[in-house]
Chain A
Amino acid sequence: MSEKPTIFQMFLSALAAMFGVQSSQNHTRDFSAGHTWTWMLLGVVVMALFVAFVILLVTWALSMAGA
Chain B
Amino acid sequence: MAELHKLVATLRTALEAGTSEPARAQEPPAEVPLAHDAYRAELVTRFARELEAVGGRFLGILTLAETIARLVALAKNARMVAIGKGVAIDTGAIAAAIDRAGVPIMRTAPTTDPEARGAFRDRLARADMAVAEADYAIASTGTLAVLTMPSRPSSLTLLAPASVILVQIGRIVPDLAAALEAFGTDTLAAHRMTLITGPSRTADIEKRIVLGVHGPKSLDVIVVWPHDD
| A and B are partners in one complex rather than unrelated chains | no
On A, residues with C-beta under 8 Å from B are none
Query: Which residues of B are interface residues toward A (Cβ below 8 A)?
Result: none
